[in-house]
Amino acid sequence: MLSPERPIGCNSGCPACAKGRVATHARPRMLPGEARGFACATMESDVIERSYVTKDEQALRIFSWAAGAAALRASYYGLRLGLLRALADAPAGLTVEDLCTQCGVDGRYLRAWAKIAAACELVAYDAGSARLRLAPHMDALLLDDADFQYSAGLVTNFGVESRLADRVEACFRTGEGIPFAEFGREMVETIHAFSKAAYEMFLPSVLLPELPQLGRALAESGTILELGCGAGAGLVALARTFPNCTVTGLDSDPTSIELARARIEEAGLGEHVHAEEMRAEDLTSEDAFDFIYTQISLHEMDDARLVLANVRRALKDDGVLLITEIRGAERIEDAVGDYNAVLAHIDLSYEIPQAIAKGGPAVGFFTAREIREMAAEAGLRDLRELDLEQPLYAAFIARK
């Protein structure tokens, strides 16, 4: 590596080197036997700004990727086998033997799991008592689906994607897709885990206050439709927020509708909340709904343009459409950092394969420009993006 006493730069007195940068003609001086690193470059006027990265640093980066995969795998097994729930229910902690007995697992495997879980700080281990405890806040983040930061969906998504990794590799070569049903019931639950907190907190406390006139009207009575309702979290949240309204959800996936109906019944809302197996493209209602909502699902529709045309017809005069989408990087150069890496991976391993299988556009998450163009084409008016003080969601409203 470079000697810390020996700065990288040329001796020509160029402006870049005066600022601690390296000009195009500069070469770092290497000590005998030093490994050469990699210089990342971006254009700045006629000077290339370089940050020196060593081979050792890149090797550690790759190792950190492996550690992250190990942490997700340990978390996945912890959820699937009930290990995390058992530890959450035992504040004083459990020994390996106790955990084996409670969860019915083999001790050899559990000891290996415990090492991973301790190393990645999923659990804490007290050598004196030989007890494992959940690390702080992991019970809320991985077990409490009412917590706004509930993150179990990231863990279970990793499990689903791992199972289908060979299929996705084949899709690279063939350009084919993977039908949604083949992602399995676990993917339906994963989507529910991703969205439940957003429905229960973000929708009523952040989005709906941006629409005060609509909120006041729906508090009295009204009709609400959710497109792409999934496993029913949104239907339950909307019905509880507006108990005087009739709420209907549509989804084309039978497993999702089965789970949605079960959640509706469990919540005691069956009289005025309904979930139906239907594509939004097949919606034929006219002047029927005061409020139509789609939560991060418009991009998954077979034909989003047709859906928005159906929405316009189905809304009552001056009815409101609310669309939410994930804010993802629109260009490769915008894809920087962990957040964009995770979103792009979801696109690659789930959004694009299932969209291609349905004959959909397979574009990943829609951009603001695309939503504006499609809404205008459908004849919706007054489209605007809500000004939300958070980086994750983009939200748009339009009227008939």
- Residue at 151 is within a domain: no
- Report whether pLDDT(330) > 80: no
Report d(CA 78, CA 67) in Å as an integer. Answer: 16
- Residue at 154 is within a domain: no
Average pLDDT over the chain, rounded to whole? 85
- 389 to 50, 327, 394: CA distances (angstroms): 34, 13, 10
Contact yes or no for 267/236 (Cβ under 8 A): yes
Contact yes or no for 400/317 (Cβ under 8 A): yes
- Report whether pLDDT(116) > 90: yes
CATH number at residue 346: 3.40.50.150
What is the reported pLDDT for 117?
A: 98
Contact yes or no for 223/197 (Cβ under 8 A): no
State the pLDDT confidence band at 94, using cuts at 50, 70 and 90: very high
What is the reported pLDDT for 51?
A: 62
State the pLDDT confidence band at 21, using cuts at 50, 70 and 90: very low
* Residues pairing with 250 in the sheet: 227, 276
State the pLDDT confidence band at 8, using cuts at 50, 70 and 90: very low
- pTM score: 0.76
Q: What percent of the chain has pLDDT over 70?
A: 86
What is the reported pLDDT for 361?
A: 61
Of the listed ranges 104-108, 319-323, 335-339, the least confidently predicted one is: 335-339
Q: Which domain holds residue 34?
A: 1-53
Most confident of 115-119, 151-155, 351-355, 389-393: 115-119
- My answer on whether 231 and 275 are in the same domain is yes
What is the reported pLDDT for 364?
A: 65
Report d(CA 145, CA 150) in Å as an integer. Answer: 6
- My answer on whether 41 and 85 are in the same domain is no
CATH number at residue 109: 1.10.10.10
- Residue at 149 is within a domain: no
Report d(CA 311, CA 313) in Å as an integer. Answer: 5
Q: Count how many domains the chain has.
A: 3
- My answer on whether 184 and 324 are in the same domain is yes
Of 232, 388, 343, 356, residue with least CA distance to 295:
232
- Report whether pLDDT(376) > 90: yes
